[in-house]
Structure 1
C-alpha cells in the first residue's frame, strides 16, 4: 500500500493505526509512506509508530515535488505485486485491504476503483467540500452500474498490478493535477480492465477550508486538463471544453462569459458562491450544489482559457473536442470537477 503525505501527521497516524487492524494477515502486506517535503518531517515519529504496528512500514522522504512524484516513488519502493493507493486523510474499514485483493485474481490485469464515502462529520465542512462528496456519490452510483473507464481513475482509492504501472511509465510528475486520470487512460490503453468495488470503501474527511485555494485548484485543473487533452485527444471525456456543452443550458451563458472576459467576471463567480452559501443556510442543498458547480466550472474554464492563450487556439480546441466527441463515444465524464484529495502538494 502506498500513500503520499504533506503536513498531515495526525491524520496519517490515524490511518496507519487503522491499517494495523485489517482482516488480512499483517505478513501479507506492507505500507510505504512518502513524505513530500512536510514542514515538519514525519520520518522520526513514523519510525517510532512503526514499532507498534503489526505490518512493515517503510518511510521515504523527498523535497516537495508534488503528489505524482511522491506516489511514483512509493510505488517503485513497494515490493508487492498488487499496489493500493489512498490518501493520508482517509479512514478505512477492517476489511479494506482484503476487499481490494479479492478483485485481483492470478493472471488478471485489473485497475480497481474503490468507493469514496464522506466522513461522518461532513456537515461540519465547507460547502465546497460537501459538494465534492456529492460528486463522489454520483460517480460511485454510475461506476457501480458498470462501465468504469481509465479516465475515472482517482488516487483516493485505487489498486492495480505494480507490473502494469511500471510498464506504462507510472505517474507523470509534470502534471500537478489530473495525473491520476492520465495514468488511468494509459493503463486502459495498455489493456488493463477498469472495475469498481463499492465494498472497498474509504471515508474521506478534509482539512481544506480556504475558498481562494479551492478556486485556485479549479483554475489549475483547467490548465492541466488542457494539457491532458493535448496528449489524449482521442478521449473527449477529459477535454475541459466539454463543459460548454455538458453543463445545464441555463449555466452556459455564465461559462461563456468566464471564457470571453476571464478577469471582469471573477466577481460573478464570487457572487454565485455567495448565493450558494445563502441557499445552503436556507436548507436548499441541491440549489447550493448546482450554484457551486457553476462557480467551479467558471474558474475551471478560466484555467483552460489561460492555457489556450489566443482566441484562435480556443476555437481550435473547441473544434477538436467536437470532432472527437462525434467520432468517439458520447459518454460524459461524471461530474464537472476533479479533486486531488491528497495532502501532498
Structure 2
C-alpha cells in the first residue's frame, strides 16, 4: 500500500463475523494494491475484532479497524469510515458482498478525470436451493437488475446502496450520511438523493456488480424487511418532502385491491404469521402460485409500512 492510498474501502458491520470473509477474502485478491480497507465495527457483539486481527496477523497491513462500543447505526458507521479514510475515492462495500478481483480498479477508473463524482455498483443475490428461491427470490433478483439498468440516468441515484463510491469532494459537497435513519434502509436513498440534488450525475456502472450473500431466504424474512423498509420511507419524506419521490404507490385492478386489503391489516405480527404460513406452503404449490403468494405478502407489507409506519415496531 502506498503512503496515500488511491482508494479507501469502507465496510460497516455489526454481528458480521460469519460473513465478513466474503468481502475481505475478495479484497485480498485485488489486481492493485494502492488502497486501504476500513472495517467499522458498530458495537462488537460476536468478536469481529478478533477476526480482523487474524487477517492483520496474516500480513494484511492495509486493513484497519474502527470501533464503536455501542450501536450507532449504519449511517454512523459509514460516517466514521468516511472521516478516517485517506483515499481520494471512498468505496462502500457491505459486509456480505463478494467482489470481483478488479473491483477497486474499476471503481477508481469510474472516477478518472472527475474531481466530484459518484458511482453505483449493483448487487446480485446469491441463493441456496430452496422453495423460496425457486418461487420468488431468483426471479425478483433478475427483475431488480433489469429495472435498474433500464432506469433513466436522472433517477439512478435511487440505487445508491451497498456497493457505491464517491470522491472525497463529493461527500464534502453534501456532508455525511444522515444519522436520523434508524429503521431498516433509506439512509442510502437519502445519500443518493442529496448527491443528485447537489448537481452530481449519480450513475450505475454495470461492470461493478457484486455478489450479495445476505438476501432474505424466506418469505417471512422478505415480508418483514418490506414492512420496515416501507416505514423507513417516512423519515425520507419528513426530511425532503413528499415531492422528492412522487406519489405513494397505489396498486390498481384486482391485484391492487388484494394488496390494499391485506395492507390494511398487515401489522408486524400478522406479517410474520402470514408469510410464515406461505413458507410452509411453497414446497407444495405450483411455482407461479407460490410466487403470487410471496408477492402478495411482500407488496402488502411494503404498502402497510408506507401508510402506517408505526406498525414496524421491532428492531430490524
* Superposed pair shares fold, TM > 0.5: yes
- Please give the TM-score of this superposition, normalised by the length of structure 2: 0.81
What is the aligned counterpart of 1:205 among 204, 213, 229? 213
1:125–1:206 contact (8 Å) kept in structure 2: no
What is the aligned counterpart of 2:129 among 124, 131, 134? 124
- Counterpart check, 1:19 vs 2:27: yes
What is the aligned counterpart of 2:175 among 169, 173, 180? 169
> 1:337 — aligned with what?
none
Aligned length: 300
Change (3 A) 1:139 1:261: closer
> 1:226 — aligned with what?
234
Change (3 A) 1:308 1:213: closer
What is the aligned counterpart of 2:165 among 159, 166, 180? 159
- 1:107 to partner: Cα distance: 2.4
Bigger drift between 271-280 and 48-57 goes to 271-280
- 1:195 to partner: Cα distance: 1.3
> 2:97 — aligned with what?
90
Higher RCO, Cα 8 Å, sep 6+:
1
> 2:4 — aligned with what?
none
Deviation per CA, 1:116-161: give whole Å up to 9, x if none: 1232xx1436727984554443232233345242542342211111
Deviation per CA, 1:8-50: give whole Å up to 9, x if none: 21321342122111112x1x11111011113123223312312
> 2:291 — aligned with what?
289
Change (3 A) 1:152 1:134: farther
Partners of 1:279 and 1:40 in 2: CA distance = 33
Partners of 1:128 and 1:275 in 2: CA distance = 13
SS of structure 2 residue aligned to 1:252: helix
Partners of 1:279 and 1:211 in 2: CA distance = 9
Give unpaired runs (5+ residues) of structure 2: 1-8
1:4–1:71 contact (8 Å) kept in structure 2: yes
SS of structure 2 residue aligned to 1:38: coil
Give unpaired runs (5+ residues) of structure 1: 310-343
Partners of 1:133 and 1:172 in 2: CA distance = 32
SS of structure 1 residue aligned to 2:188: helix
1:277–1:288 contact (8 Å) kept in structure 2: no
Change (3 A) 1:131 1:181: farther
1:20–1:55 contact (8 Å) kept in structure 2: no
